[in-house]
Structure 1
Amino acid sequence: MIHFVGAGSGAPDLITLRGKTFLEQADVIIYAGSLVNPQLLDYAKEGCEIYNSAKMTLEEVLDVMFVAEKDGKMTVRLHTGDPCLYGAIREQMDVLDEKGIEYDYTPGVSSFCGAASALNLEYTLPDVSQTVIITRMAGRTPVPEKEEIAKLASHGATMVVFLSTGLLEQLSQRLIAGGYAADTPAAIVYKATWEDEKAFVCTVGTLAETAARNHITKTALMIIGDVVTHSHYNRSELYNPAFTTEFREATK
């Protein structure tokens, strides 16, 4: 059996209980070494075979899985955050489907959730934003033309931008071209929930300057929108005493 497991956003105690159990039981662990906190490997049992996929191709990862299956071993494929976001898991699953090899998938705490915790912010504030757009700048991996940053920015929703720390000048330009003002609140969160986490509040126009001043060159998320400063919003109707719900009557 092969278990795809989300490692969580960084802190080793933010993995799910199910994910931790699989790590403790695994005979083989293949982990995304460039991003997964190596402290998670402390959960591995003695004798567990551990492979760093940062140094491997897809074919090499699959070969390790095939050998483990042949030998009746249990494998954990440990991806950063929640692997449904930029995790490159589908290409592995498709091959396993072709081979008739069983697998399952345990979700994890995404780094975009960890980034919110670093700033104690809520992405969906009433009358500010009720939509979160998760995206990235085009780099070596292209982005569909219909999802170009400026087009997404035209909605004015909260945006969380992955995998773009080295493209912040261009990111600012495309956000402004799409309709965000240069003084729109923004934030850069480096290594959310890790021990060396850093978070910086800035503006759309000062993203690159802020990153350069604080020596942030990779492993960061950018958050765009008025929710970053949460300076104005309406309280939730759910907890409003004048609002009737299925569970209580209005009292005012």
Structure 2
Amino acid sequence: MSHSAELTQVENSLSPLAPAVYIIGAGPGDPDLLTVKALKILQQADVIVLADSLVPQQILQDIRLEAEVVCTSNKTLEEILPLMIDRVRSHQSVVRLHSGDLSLYSAIHEQMQALAAAGVPFEVIPGISAFQAAAAKLKVELTVPGLVQTIILTRVSGRASAVPPSEELASLAAHQASLCLYLSALHVRAAQEKLLEHYPADTPVAVCFRIGWPDEKICLVPLEQMAAVTQEERLLRTTLYLISPALKTALVNESTSAARSQLYHPEHSHLFRPSR
């Protein structure tokens, strides 16, 4: 059976979408990393409203030919919301498509509040975050027993969003956890200086540009080279930094024999594997 025939068969087996706004996390950019639920909704939606500067066109490869596609990179919330509300009140299903996972820097809080105030039903469908996709690409676990057990997701202050003083980067770096730094390429040199206040200069950093896109790029460098590599490669906007001692496991010839979870250790007993 051909791919198109398979899609048609799936589409025909699905229940019609109720008129509502379906807020979907598109993941980092790879269509194969969409959740099954997100893909099913995308295949049926009447209207797709997407952040086109952050969501690649490849995510739309299986939408209906007659679906209305509305790009929002040049629109304000005051233009986007009435459009979605109007389409739902006209008995259409609307997908609001954001990049990554909706729980991180997706600006959906105010959209959900406005939809609720207007009495418009909506549903939230989570996605894969870039930090998860990057770790998978690097073949690393960001929580290694005895080395690091905490992941911090943060950003530096920018024009669009201010970071509270209590979450200042240097204070977060003091934990020396696996730190995932979003939306900070324009401030990378200042960020590097703050990180170096607590992390050793040779701490591995994965500089990840457009993870999941056809032109993705990953550079694994010491922390002290993070800013220089960013500037040399001319990386902007959709760049994620993973700063973590766990990334040592991604380096060639790095020994990991001491880092082992007790969960599957033969000397560790638990409810489902009692001691003998």
TM category (shorter chain) comes to over 0.9
> What do you get for the CA RMSD once the two structures are aligned?
1.3
Percent identical among aligned pairs is: 37
Residue 168 in 1 paired to residue 188 in 2? yes
Aligned partners of 1:28 and 1:49 also within 8 Å: yes
Matched position secondary structure for 1:143 = coil
Q: 2:128 aligns with which of 96, 109, 115?
A: 109
Tell me the residue number matched to 2:62: 43
Q: 2:168 aligns with which of 117, 139, 148?
A: 148
Q: Give the distance between the partners of 1:8 and 1:14, measured in 2 at CA.
A: 6
Q: 1:197 aligns with which of 216, 225, 234?
A: 216
Q: Which amino acid aligns with 1:53?
A: T
Q: 2:231 aligns with which of 198, 212, 231?
A: 212
* Correspondence 1:51-200 to 2 at 5 A: 51-140=70-159, 141-177=161-197, 179-200=198-219
Encode CA deviations 1:103-146: one digit per residue, 9 max, x unaligned. Answer: 01001111111111121111100011110000001111210000
TM-score scaled to structure 2, two decimals?
A: 0.87
Q: Which amino acid aligns with 1:235?
A: R
Q: Give the distance between the partners of 2:31 and 2:244, measured in 1 at CA.
A: 29
TM-score scaled to structure 1, two decimals?
A: 0.95
Q: Which amino acid aligns with 1:33?
A: D
Q: Which amino acid aligns with 1:24?
A: Q
Tell me the residue number matched to 1:245: 270
Segments ≥4 residues shifted beyond 4 Å: none
- Unpaired runs of 5+ residues, structure 1, are none
Q: Give the distance between the partners of 2:88 and 2:204, measured in 1 at CA.
A: 50
Q: Give the distance between the partners of 2:99 and 2:74, measured in 1 at CA.
A: 15
Q: Which amino acid aligns with 2:29?
A: G
How many residues are treated as equivalent by the alignment? Answer: 250
Q: Give the distance between the partners of 1:13 and 1:246, measured in 2 at CA.
A: 36
Report deviation, 1:250: 4.1
Report deviation, 1:213: 2.6
